[in-house]
Chains A and B, each alone.
Chain A
């Protein structure tokens, strides 16, 4: 899981609540990503950020929001507008250059359950 930490590991949310998932990396990577994993569907891209103070929507951004105020941090907020938020959420990062430019490094994940 490298130098990427995600917290909490497990998160329970009541209907109508917003929750924020933390992602921190100490790899000095430029780009960061949020993916959602559902059984039998692989991973789908929610949001990504190439540099500080800039981010773009991925394939399934509705009901989610992000910020990138620091290079090492990329928190994801799951809002009440997300209709089916129960899933496993994975944060990833990659360097801006070098031999590992094409690799994405993943954190340990946060499992979110809506009660």
Chain B
């Protein structure tokens, strides 16, 4: 089974500083990787994905992620964090099911707090 790990439960940064949320993956074959964000009592919102191609992926709300095959990482980054970026962030990997459909296997999530 494919899996991802988010090594940090919490990340705290000051507004205007760079934000990094870490994710490492374990897969057989080529990984399909995703980042989602969740605000309190809301569903998940898609930020970006890596399927193939350029290792630097740009997504919504100024976020980007860098795919690093040698380090098996897919860290989410934002050059200048905003207070409104405070939320729960999930890294996920596509995992093929027996029926040939797929599910998303999620990390445990990282809570980001951006202080003014």
Q: What is the interface of chain A, defined by CB distance below 8 A to chain B?
A: 1, 4, 6, 9, 31, 33, 40-43, 45, 48, 50, 56, 58, 88, 90, 92, 102-109, 111
Contacts and interface: CB of A to CB of B under 8 A. Distances in A.
Contact of A33 (B98, B103, B107): B103
Interface of B: 9, 32, 34, 36, 41-46, 49, 51, 90, 94, 97-99, 101-104, 106-109
A42 B107 contact: yes
B42 A1 contact: yes
B44 A102 contact: no
Contacts, number: 58
20 contacts: A4-B43, A6-B43, A41-B108, A42-B90, A42-B109, A43-B90, A48-B97, A56-B97, A56-B101, A58-B103, A102-B32, A102-B51, A102-B94, A102-B102, A103-B34, A104-B46, A106-B44, A108-B42, A109-B42, A109-B43
